[in-house]
């Protein structure tokens, strides 16, 4: 089973805290997982950014929502205790507690939880934001904007003059720490007749080792024969390592071939290329920045 929506955590957390004692989120992670019968695969499921386990994230946000409704109170950093109102809700013997119930009963929670519009994902499916916590909304929105940018970026790479492709390959190589200076990397690469780039670049600034690079602005998938030629070229260039970049993709045969040969060849397809360009600010620029903050419990616990 997959990790349930974070609203499914409301009632189990309230029941866990029904003894009136102070409990930590760390305790809740373990107990709630047992209550909800989550297996190891469920518990290892990560949020989209890969920075936190989804189960832990939902326990944490469920606690925040119950606190906003007045059913729990914070007693310290990551610590909660049930309130008298929380005990009253448990006395109702409900089968489920969700945002709709909390908004209908507690005006301050309704103010906190504004109705949000539907969000369309990259799979063209509508996800009701009621089912998502704020972290998930931010991450899904960020991922969608990232994917849209990557698509637009790849279209630009394919559309504009081949000289721009040569420039971005050199800029990316240098930004990633290869090729020495931009001047060195630029001199080491040259445009080929098939809208590609061919070159021998430094792996480090001192040039102790070299990497052979080919980059092809292609629409068709790069197959095994091309990779065999590339691997053979490494010998002539006295290179043990190579990077093959394409704006398209690699066939299964090409990927399998590279995984079985002795020489180290890194494959960068169109999707990976745009991810690297975004990560290293090649062809993109920052236009907006948000800073999210949370309460510092150590400050309030001092003295």
Distance of alpha carbon 49 from alpha carbon 186, whole angstroms: 35
The architecture in CATH of the region 162-279 reads: 3-Layer(aba) Sandwich (3.40)
What are the phi and psi torsion angles at 129 (to 5°)? -65, -15
Does the 6-116 domain belong in CATH 3.40.50.970? no
Query: What is the structure's pLDDT at 237?
Result: 78
Q: Which long-range contacts link 203-207 to residues 24+ away (Cβ below 8 Å)?
A: 203/178, 203/241, 205/180, 207/180
Q: Residues 213-268: pLDDT tens digits? A: 888 888 889 999 999 999 988 888 778 889 999 999 999 999 999 999 888 999 99
What would the two tokens of residue 123 be?
């799979």
Query: What is the structure's pLDDT at 114?
Result: 60
Distance of alpha carbon 83 from alpha carbon 101, whole angstroms: 17
Query: What is the structure's pLDDT at 302?
Result: 60
Domain with CATH 3.40.1340.10 in the chain: 162-279
Distance of CA 229 to the CA centre of its chain: 35
What are the phi and psi torsion angles at 92 (to 5°)? -75, -10
- Identify the three-state secondary structure at position 14: helix
> Mean pLDDT for each 10-residue chunk of the chain (303 residues)?
86 95 93 92 85 89 90 88 95 93 90 55 44 76 83 86 83 85 75 74 74 88 92 83 92 94 92 93 85 77 60
Domain with CATH 1.10.10.10 in the chain: 6-116
For the four alpha carbons of 50, 286, 175 and 223, in that order, the dihedral sign comes to: positive
Q: What element of type H or E holds 165?
A: helix 162-175
Helices and strands counted in the chain (H then E): 14, 10
With beta carbons less than 8 A apart as the criterion, state whether 248 and 195 touch.
no
Strands (E), 5-67: 23-24
According to DSSP, the residues that pair with 53 across neighbouring strands are: 46
Query: What is the structure's pLDDT at 248?
Result: 93
């Amino acid at each position: 089973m997959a990790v349930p929506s974070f609203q499914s955590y409301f009632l189990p957390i309230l029941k866990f805290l029904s003894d009136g004692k102070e409990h930590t989120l760390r305790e809740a992670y373990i107990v709630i997982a047992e209550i909800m019968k989550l297996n190891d695969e469920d518990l290892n499921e990560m949020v989209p950014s890969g920075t936190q386990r989804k189960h832990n994230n939902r326990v944490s946000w469920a606690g925040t929502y119950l606190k906003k409704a007045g059913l729990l109170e914070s007693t310290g950093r990551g610590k909660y205790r049930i309130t008298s109102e929380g005990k009253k809700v448990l006395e109702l013997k409900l089968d489920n507690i969700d945002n709709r119930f909390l908004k209908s009963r507690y005006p301050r929670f309704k103010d906190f939880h504004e109705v949000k519009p539907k969000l369309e994902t990259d799979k063209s499916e509508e996800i009701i934001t009621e089912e998502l916590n704020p972290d998930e909304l931010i991450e899904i929105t960020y991922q969608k904007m990232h994917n849209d940018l990557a698509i637009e970026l790849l279209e630009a790479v394919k559309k504009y003059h081949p000289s721009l492709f040569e420039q971005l390959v050199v800029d990316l190589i240098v930004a990633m720490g290869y090729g020495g200076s931009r001047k060195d990397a630029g001199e080491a690469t040259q445009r080929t007749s098939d809208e590609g780039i061919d070159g021998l670049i430094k792996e480090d600034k001192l040039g102790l080792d070299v990497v052979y690079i080919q980059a092809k602005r292609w629409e068709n998938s790069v197959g095994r024969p091309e990779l065999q030629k590339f691997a053979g070229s490494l010998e002539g260039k006295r290179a043990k390592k190579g990077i093959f970049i394409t704006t398209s993709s690699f066939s299964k045969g090409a990927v399998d071939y590279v995984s079985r040969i002795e020489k180290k060849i890194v494959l960068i397809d169109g999707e990976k290329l745009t991810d690297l360009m975004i990560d290293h600010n090649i062809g993109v620029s920052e236009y907006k920045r948000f800073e999210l903050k949370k309460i510092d419990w150590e400050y309030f616990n001092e003295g």
